[in-house]
């Protein structure tokens, strides 16, 4: 079985689907003829979206920090539509943090949602996918996970952990017939990036990101960039030696008091 083989219509479970990239991606997948089970904590938003396409969109309210909730939602999905072809773990949280506001609780919160939420999602589908020898796990990480950036320590660390997680698990999953992939968005206009007070080069709208991600899901490959141009710029920064990289990131610092 070729891991990258995709039929004309698939069943996706999209976790983190109530707003931003996730909500836009639901529209893109449905428009391409797929069925999408959508999950988030906001039950009202999920049910409103499901009501627009009741044959193709199934609402499953979950909190990704609770493995039992994900397992319960998985069982409901399998009962309704069978084992999905793919789970997209898109739930995320973000808060900028400078040294003056250093807060271990913020690290814990973002790790619990972003990283451990993805771990829980993987565990929810692991046995079903491996048992049948096919399936796809997609983690929404970020280009912020490539290298450390000022004011993004909690978020960047959680996204770096997600990329490392996918890289670490890929060989064993691949041997079992299961694909594991990452989506690495750049700056996308969402309620989370609206918290930033700095210029965001290459910032795109959620629908643009969703279009690029949907196209990427139709192709093989470990990584999907959205947008691709800015993603490759950020990739290039990984090649810089520390001396040059830190000279660059020092220029990103705000003046004290700002």
pTM > 0.75: yes
The pair of three-digit structure tokens given for residue 236, joined into one six-digit string: 């290039």
Q: What is the pLDDT of residue 242?
A: 96
Query: In degrees, to the nearest 5, what angle opens at C-alpha 257 toward C-alphas 256 and 258?
Result: 95
CATH architecture of 11-250: 3-Layer(aba) Sandwich (3.40)
The more confidently predicted of residues 167 and 253 is: 167
Q: Mention every residue, 6+ apart, whose C-beta is less than 8 A from residue 133.
A: 1, 176, 177, 178
Q: What is the pLDDT of residue 38?
A: 99
How far apart (Å, rounded) are the C-alpha atoms in residues 55 and 25? Answer: 17
pLDDT tens for 150-208 read 999 999 999 999 999 999 999 999 999 999 999 999 877 766 666 766 566 666 799 99
How far apart (Å, rounded) are the C-alpha atoms in residues 212 and 225? Answer: 8
Q: Mention every residue, 6+ apart, whose C-beta is less than 8 A from residue 90.
A: 14, 15, 16, 17, 21, 22, 25, 140, 183
Residues in the chain: 258
Q: What is the pLDDT of residue 194?
A: 66
DSSP-based helix, strand, coil % in the chain, nearest 5: 50, 15, 35
Q: In angstroms, how far is the first alpha carbon of the chain from the final one?
A: 56
Asked whether residue 11 carries a pLDDT value surpassing 80, the answer given is yes
Are the CB atoms for 78 and 99 separated by under 8 Å?
A: no
Other C-beta atoms within 10 Å of 235: how many? 15
Are the CB atoms for 65 and 91 separated by under 8 Å?
A: no
Would you put residue 257 in left (φ > 0), alpha (ψ -120 to 50) or beta? left
Report domain extents, the chain: 11-250
Residue 131, H or E segment: helix 116-132
* Cα dihedral sign, 197-244-110-230: positive
Query: In degrees, to the nearest 5, what angle opens at C-alpha 23 toward C-alphas 146 and 118?
Result: 45
Asked whether residue 101 carries a pLDDT value surpassing 80, the answer given is yes
How far apart (Å, rounded) are the C-alpha atoms in residues 32 and 125? Answer: 24
Are the CB atoms for 65 and 112 separated by under 8 Å?
A: yes
- The pLDDT of 63-78, averaged and rounded, is 98
Q: pLDDT confidence of 4, banded at 50, 70, 90?
A: very low
Asked whether residue 104 carries a pLDDT value surpassing 90, the answer given is yes
């Amino acid at each position: 079985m070729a891991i990258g083989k995709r039929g004309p219509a698939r069943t996706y479970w999209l976790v983190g689907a109530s707003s931003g990239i996730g909500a836009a991606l639901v529209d893109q997948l449905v428009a391409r003829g797929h069925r999408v089970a959508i999950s988030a904590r906001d039950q009202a938003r999920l049910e409103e979206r499901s009501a627009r396409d009741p044959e193709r969109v199934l609402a499953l309210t979950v909190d990704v920090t609770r493995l039992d909730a994900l397992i319960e939602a998985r069982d409901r999905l399998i009962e309704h539509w069978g084992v999905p072809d793919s789970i997209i773990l898109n739930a995320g949280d973000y808060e900028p943090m400078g040294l003056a506001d250093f807060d271990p609780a913020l690290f814990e919160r973002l790790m619990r949602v972003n990283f451990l939420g993805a771990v829980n999602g993987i565990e929810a589908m692991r046995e079903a996918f491996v048992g049948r020898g096919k399936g796809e796990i997609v983690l929404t990480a970020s280009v912020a996970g490539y290298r450390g950036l000022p004011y993004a320590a909690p978020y960047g660390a959680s996204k770096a952990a997600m990329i490392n997680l996918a890289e670490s698990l890929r060989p064993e999953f691949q041997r079992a017939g299961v694909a594991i992939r990452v989506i690495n968005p750049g700056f996308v206009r969402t309620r989370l990036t609206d918290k930033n007070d700095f210029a965001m080069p290459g910032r795109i709208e959620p629908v643009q990101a969703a279009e690029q991600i949907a196209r990427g899901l139709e192709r093989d490959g470990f990584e999907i960039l959205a947008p691709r141009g800015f993603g490759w710029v950020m990739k290039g920064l990984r090649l810089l030696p520390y001396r040059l990289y830190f000279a660059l990131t020092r220029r990103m610092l705000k003046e004290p008091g700002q």
